[in-house]
Structure 1
Amino acid sequence: MSNVAAQPALALILFAPWFLILATLYWCYPRQPRDARRRLFDVAALALAFIGCLLSLHWSFGVADRSYGQLWPQILATSVGYGVFLAVLGGAFWLRRKLLVAR
C-alpha cells in the first residue's frame, strides 16, 4: 500500500481510540433492558456508524480542495467522518430510546 492510498485511512486510525470509547459508552448505557433485540439494534447501529464513517472519510478526502494545502484533505476527512459517526450514534441512541427502552 502506498502512502497516497493509506492517507484516507489515517484519519480513521488516529480517531480509532476515541471511536472505541464512544462505541463502548453507546453499548453500555442505559444498562437496561439488555435483551436480544437491544443487542441486535446496537450491533447494527455501530456497524452503520463505522461504515458511514469509512464512506464519508473516503468521499471527503477525494473531494477536498487541495489548493488549501496538502493537509486539508486529512482535516476535512477527519471532520466529516467524525460528524457522520456522531450523527449515526446520536440518531441510534434517540431511536433506541423511542423503540426499545420506553416500553
Structure 2
Amino acid sequence: MNPQVELNLALILFVPWFSILSWLYWAYPRQPRPPARSLFDAGALLLATLAAGWGMHWSMYNADPSAGAIWKQVLATSVAYGLFLGLMTAAFLLRLRLLRGWRASATAG
C-alpha cells in the first residue's frame, strides 16, 4: 500500500461520515443564524477536523508495532473518530448556550 495512503487511510475512510455529521451540525437548528454563529460553526468544524487528523497521525506513529499492522489503522480510526465526535459534541453544547444569548439579544433589540 502507498505509505501516504496508509498514513491517511482512517481519515479517508471517515470523510463521508464526517461530511454527513458536519452538514447536520451546520444545518440544524435553522434559526437563529447570525454571522457570529456561522463563524463559530466554521471554526468548530475546522478544529474538529484538524484534531481528528492530528489524532490519526499521532496514533499511527505511537501504535505498538508488535500488535500487528492492522492495529495502527484500528487505533488511528478510533482516536480520529473520538476526537471529532468529542469536539463536535462540545461545540454543539456550547452553541446551545450561545444561541440562548443570541435569541435574548435579538428579542431585546
* TM over 0.5, shorter chain: yes
Which fold has the larger relative contact order, with Cα–Cα distance below 8 Å and residues 6 or more apart in sequence? Answer: 1
Q: CA deviation at 1:35?
A: 1.2
Normalising by structure 1, report the TM-score: 0.93
Q: CA deviation at 1:4?
A: 2.2
Normalising by structure 2, report the TM-score: 0.89
Q: CA deviation at 1:45?
A: 0.2
Return structure 1 stretches of 4+ with deviation > 6 angstroms.
Answer: none
Tell me, which stretches of 5 or more residues in structure 1 are unaligned? Answer: none
The residue number in structure 2 matching 1:34 is 33
Q: CA deviation at 1:31?
A: 1.1
Tell me, which stretches of 5 or more residues in structure 2 are unaligned? Answer: 102-109
Aligned pair count? 101
In 1: Cα distance, 2:80 partner to 2:7 partner? 10
Percent identical residues: 51
Q: Which has the larger radius of gyration?
A: 2
Counterpart contact for 1:11–1:77, Cα < 8 Å: yes
Give the secondary structure class of the aligned counterpart of 1:38. helix
